[in-house]
Structure 1
């Protein structure tokens, strides 16, 4: 397969563009770096196309590697024909390669392998040929063998049926057709294990939807409901089309002796071997597509959050609201430096509103605070009411904004926050984060694991590796689009810059602290481990 040509065709780009992008990726360049600094090589491919290209490149290379492994395995068994080699080489998906490999894959002990060990394969072949003229049990009686534990003609016949059933199940063409019929005409059905129980899944207690029309969010909801043992989910299949299709393929002669046996075998093969496997594949495929769609939405949400315009030049009071433990406050100057921290108790159970207002008025007067950044967590509404009343009582103009505090608690207890504010407790760090989120959302939010920012539903049900990679890519894109101030950027911000690792980011900050501000970019070459290539 010409991977470059296939990717170019799928993405609607020129082959030389795909070739240049693949070469740059193979050289170890990141997507943001290629998108921003290698436009002349790729013909100005944007980061979205480059990420799609990278995903397809990974998939197609895995596909080619799988084909090589499968061909080598079948060849080793001495069963590789030119026709089979051609089918494998032309396969477009991993599922089709697996279907073709199934009959040759080393098997665990199944009913069919046990029957073969008992010497019943010749009987299975005789039945499959459909040319027998003697009664079936009379033919099966020839294979009775006490030594091999085949005691009766009925046992011999059952063993032969198991062998034929597995052979039908292993036929790649049958599986492809059955999968196609199931996807086109099958339905996802869910019922409640306890219809009387109240839960968030009540709309799925009697749910029925065609597979072809399943929305991603419904797939994820059903998966979670099933995992929580509230729902029973199954795939309803068009058996009235599948069984006749298999009969037409398997029963090729009008033989009254073998027809009833083969009809029973077809039904057993489908219900016991093919249907469960196809159902697993389809549900896995639906989940994968739903996760891909959800991760894209999470990425868009995260990008909007990170790319919020900063509010510069203001002294901000960060307010982390709470009830019992009090509201944590942090005053932060326009550069992000913390000037003061304290705790007030205007909310229940203490309700020390007047005392809190006195503290707030002193802070506003002392530091010339012009903006209050209030977290939207527990006690936010009660805190907002206190702020509204306070602003009516003071002569200076102060505004307030409610900010999303998702991930603040994770950050405040992190190693990074401990390094940044070793003398602060988690409440003080959280209040500082509230203030800084307004001053520079991107610089503050990159300190938090993207998964902890709370960018969408079901994010904890996702493939966590894929989610981390996608959200990490979004952060990287945002940082590289905006750029950073070399003289103020933190380690966590610098490490998202193309070509800068965590170690180099730490070295840049260490150099800056030791030698003062960078006067020019060329000074970066003096930083330890930052060589000409990264520069």
Structure 2
């Protein structure tokens, strides 16, 4: 590696806390065109078993380091062309580890738009500014200034000359990287962020009430407050600014600038330049930088929260093999119904009107009972949108009155309407209305959340905080990575997967995914993995990256049902032969037992494969059709309904975590409004972040703390009476 490459490598190593050799190997794998999921799953020996998140972090940090290096080279070139590159400056730029530091060092040499200082220099005042700045001559400032009076340059008075000199020195002070470093640091450590109300009448619901007259130390601001302040400012309801320690900063600048006290006139002039430089040039710039930095960190946190929530939502266990009646609740337009069989195929579409204004409860009950009997419905899935609780009450009454042994589930339908109106949904169900497609989506979300949710823009799934206030590009990139990771962890059945699902498989593009579905529709089901090599645009590298994540559950060979990569098929067959088994024994208890008793290290050496690969093969042979989602909590099924008025303080309930945010978790306890468990009520011990305690999809035990029926607010606690 060249010298520059080693310095980049050190930046990535320091940032990720991963060994230099491993980082180097990961970067090499990425440069060869390998995807993050492929490296995480099938190159564990090379990476030491790093997961997708760590590998993605190395990739991101490396890209940043490369961009940093390129910017350094550009800055060095420009300064050198100006003939101003000293050895000290060159070393400072080369050793910088942040783009901000490089830009600070470059600032004095940057081609500026016309500023007050550049105009003063054009008028010939730079020599005068240098005399004052150097403080080497004991001069009479006003007498010296007279020499620069000029009708041509519109320097009519001594004050004009002094002002121009001041402008030049103020810009020199502002451009000093050392000063800016100090001011940025002290403003962050000692500054206050303050907000006041601008247009209270525009804040009808009092959303920003706590920020009408608010002050907090910059260093202690948490991410959700930063984003709330930003939004209030953007909506012109709040005025937000940073109050820096001005006296401390100006005192520091004066000490740095005034080198001796030989001349009171010069000292006073420099003090004026310091004050002007800070207030006019440095303070607004530093405030912008700190606000931007706070926003970036807050956005990163919000995106991280959204990403973790989304991953847990996507990995919710599917309720396989059930006939589901999906219900999309509504008032005036009626509740749309969709009966979906075990494979997700739609068998019936209908509508009932059990809610206001029609209130046709008897007619609706007759339709629902008929569908349950005709299609052997095993589960009812009700969307949680408008009229959800009224519809749930109706379904619960039907189950109770007819003594049916039939559970129902409330499904988070966020994004279902977005999907239903999308070109994808129109293509999938051209003969259905938007609401009817939504009912199908609700039913299918229960059967296989991952397969259905990938059809929706992740930003519309509704498990984040302030997702509309963050960088949409960063959010989209992060959420796409989460979906890709989840899809590849679970694996995909090539004979049932939609194009939407297939395009998230490692290495597959939208075009290849569409080609795969097209070939399947034209030529029938795939029976082995090798057939996929014939898919148009699916080349050798793409095949290598994707094939381990593509499964054929009912194909010619059992190995094609597993996450074992074809590159390891020979070693897998040798392992089976060593133990006296054939492929037909895969998944048997006897094989599992014998696999548990082998000497892994010796076996790996004999098969000439790494230990992690052997362990993955062993797991796949023991449980060939294992779904990693089965390890997550099962969804909460219900048979009765409660109203908000039924809730009493201290009541114990079970609920499903719907969303995790910085300040707590929202839990669906089966009433109209989700309840909030504030972070302070999640445990007896200190909780750093709610994610340390709960995840989206978790079924948790909670107790009612307070209920405000009028405001529709429910406060819950996860600390029971016995634990208090």
Q: TM-score, normalization: structure 2?
A: 0.73
Q: Which has the higher helix share?
A: 1
Q: What is the match of residue 262 of structure 1?
A: 270
Residues 136-535 of structure 1 mapped to structure 2, 5 A cutoff: 136-194=141-199, 199-254=206-261, 255-394=263-402, 396-535=404-543
The separation in 2 between residues aligned to 1:415 and 1:347, in whole angstroms, is 30
1:12 lines up with 2:20 in the alignment: no
CA deviation profile, 1:190-229 (whole Å, cap 9, x unmatched): 1112468652111112221111111111110100011011
Q: What is the match of residue 100 of structure 2?
A: 95
The separation in 2 between residues aligned to 1:418 and 1:145, in whole angstroms, is 76
Q: What is the match of residue 57 of structure 2?
A: 52
Larger deviation, residues 307-316 vs 505-514: 505-514
CA deviation profile, 1:333-358 (whole Å, cap 9, x unmatched): 00000001011111111211111111
Q: What is the match of residue 43 of structure 1?
A: 48
Residue 131 of structure 2 contacts residue 137 of structure 2 at CA under 8 Å; is this kept in 1? Answer: yes
The separation in 2 between residues aligned to 1:135 and 1:527, in whole angstroms, is 86
Equivalent of residue 69 in structure 1, options 59, 74, 77: 74
1:78 lines up with 2:89 in the alignment: no
Residue 11 of structure 2 contacts residue 97 of structure 2 at CA under 8 Å; is this kept in 1? Answer: no
* Partner SS state of residue 151, structure 1: coil
Residue 192 of structure 2 contacts residue 216 of structure 2 at CA under 8 Å; is this kept in 1? Answer: yes
Deviation at 1:40, TM superposition (A): 1.8
The separation in 2 between residues aligned to 1:145 and 1:12, in whole angstroms, is 62
The separation in 2 between residues aligned to 1:391 and 1:315, in whole angstroms, is 17
The separation in 2 between residues aligned to 1:266 and 1:382, in whole angstroms, is 68
Counting matched residue pairs gives 535
Residue 8 of structure 2 contacts residue 69 of structure 2 at CA under 8 Å; is this kept in 1? Answer: no
* Partner SS state of residue 208, structure 1: strand
Q: What is the match of residue 564 of structure 2?
A: none
Distance 1:389 1:527, change over 3 A: same
Q: Which runs of 5+ in 2 are unaligned?
A: 544-724
The separation in 1 between residues aligned to 2:97 and 2:540, in whole angstroms, is 42
The separation in 2 between residues aligned to 1:28 and 1:415, in whole angstroms, is 32
Residue 215 of structure 1 contacts residue 290 of structure 1 at CA under 8 Å; is this kept in 2? Answer: yes
Residue 20 of structure 1 contacts residue 42 of structure 1 at CA under 8 Å; is this kept in 2? Answer: yes
Larger deviation, residues 461-470 vs 350-359: 350-359
The separation in 1 between residues aligned to 2:443 and 2:349, in whole angstroms, is 12
CA deviation profile, 1:126-150 (whole Å, cap 9, x unmatched): 1112244443222111111101111
CA deviation profile, 1:377-405 (whole Å, cap 9, x unmatched): 00001101110111123354221100000
Larger deviation, residues 123-132 vs 263-272: 123-132
* Partner SS state of residue 432, structure 1: helix
Q: What is the match of residue 675 of structure 2?
A: none
Residue 132 of structure 1 contacts residue 258 of structure 1 at CA under 8 Å; is this kept in 2? Answer: no
Larger deviation, residues 401-410 vs 360-369: 360-369
The separation in 2 between residues aligned to 1:138 and 1:5, in whole angstroms, is 56
Deviation at 1:37, TM superposition (A): 1.5
Deviation at 1:7, TM superposition (A): 1.8
The separation in 2 between residues aligned to 1:84 and 1:10, in whole angstroms, is 25
The separation in 1 between residues aligned to 2:95 and 2:531, in whole angstroms, is 54
Residue 133 of structure 1 contacts residue 257 of structure 1 at CA under 8 Å; is this kept in 2? Answer: no
Deviation at 1:29, TM superposition (A): 2.1
CA deviation profile, 1:10-38 (whole Å, cap 9, x unmatched): 32322221011111222232211211122
CA deviation profile, 1:299-349 (whole Å, cap 9, x unmatched): 110011100000011110110011111111100000000001011111111
The separation in 2 between residues aligned to 1:30 and 1:219, in whole angstroms, is 35
The separation in 2 between residues aligned to 1:155 and 1:450, in whole angstroms, is 60
Deviation at 1:500, TM superposition (A): 1.1
Larger deviation, residues 41-50 vs 373-382: 41-50
Residue 199 of structure 2 contacts residue 236 of structure 2 at CA under 8 Å; is this kept in 1? Answer: no
Deviation at 1:73, TM superposition (A): 1.1
Q: Which runs of 5+ in 1 are unaligned?
A: none
Distance 1:30 1:346, change over 3 A: same
